[in-house]
Amino acid sequence: TTAQCVPLGGQEFQCQCATGYRGDGRNCYDIDECSSSPCHINGRCVNRLGSFDCHCQPGFYGDGFLCSQLAAQPERTKTQCEHHRDSVQSTGPEGYPVVGAYVPQCDDNGLYRPLQCHGSTGYCWCVDSNGQERAGTRTPPGTQPTDCDGPGLPSVAPPTVRPLPRPDVTPPPHADVTLLYAQGQKIGALPLSGTRLDETSARTLLTLHGSIVVGLAYDCKENHVYWTDLSARTINRAAMAPGAEPEILINTNLVSPEGLAVDPNRRLMFWVDSNTDLIETSNLDGSGRRTLFGTELVNPRAIIVVSSTGTLYWTDWNREAPKIESSTVEGQNRKVVVSDGIGLPNALTYDTTSGQVCWADAGTKRLECVFPDGTGRRVVHPSLNYPFNMVYYRSHFYFTDWRRDGVIAVNKESSQITGEYLPDQRSHLYGITIATSHCLSG
Instruction: Tell me the residue type at 354.
Output: S
pLDDT score for 162: 35
**CA–CA distances in Å: residue 15 to residues 8, 22, 29:** 10, 12, 14
* Cα dihedral: 409, 412, 414, 417 (round 10): 10
Contacts of residue 143, Cβ cutoff 8 Å, sequence gap at least 6:
none
H-helix or E-strand containing 87? helix 80-88
For residue 12, pLDDT over 90 is answered with no
Closest CA to 434 of 189, 267, 264: 189
- Reported confidence tier of residue 130, pLDDT bands at 50, 70, 90: confident
Question: Is the domain 105-146 a CATH 4.10.800.10 member?
Answer: yes
- The superfamily in CATH containing domain 177-436 is TolB, C-terminal domain (2.120.10.30)
Q: What is the mean pLDDT of residues 345-370?
A: 96
Q: How far apart are alpha carbons 79 and 40 in whole angstroms?
A: 33
Q: How far apart are alpha carbons 31 and 164 in whole angstroms?
A: 51
What are φ and ψ of residue 118, in 5° steps? Answer: -95, 115
357, 325 Cβ separation under 8 angstroms: no
b/e per residue 377-408 (b: at least 16 CB within 10 A) = eeebbeebebbbbbbbbeebbbbbbbebbbbb
Domain residue ranges of the chain, discontinuous segments joined by +: 3-68, 105-146, 177-436
Q: What angle do CA 159, 164, 166 make, to 5 degrees?
A: 120
69, 40 Cβ separation under 8 angstroms: no
Q: What is the mean pLDDT of residues 167-183?
A: 72
What are φ and ψ of residue 283, in 5° steps? Answer: -70, 165
Q: How far apart are alpha carbons 213 and 251 in whole angstroms?
A: 14
pLDDT (tens digit, 9 = 90+) per residue, 143-173?
A: 778 888 876 554 443 333 333 333 445 555 5
Q: How many Cβ atoms are within 10 Å of 438's Cβ, its own excluded?
A: 8
Of 138-152, 296-310, 312-326, 374-388, which gets the smallest average pLDDT? 138-152
Q: How far apart are alpha carbons 103 and 367 in whole angstroms?
A: 34
- Reported confidence tier of residue 90, pLDDT bands at 50, 70, 90: low
Which CATH number is associated with domain 3-68? 2.10.25.10
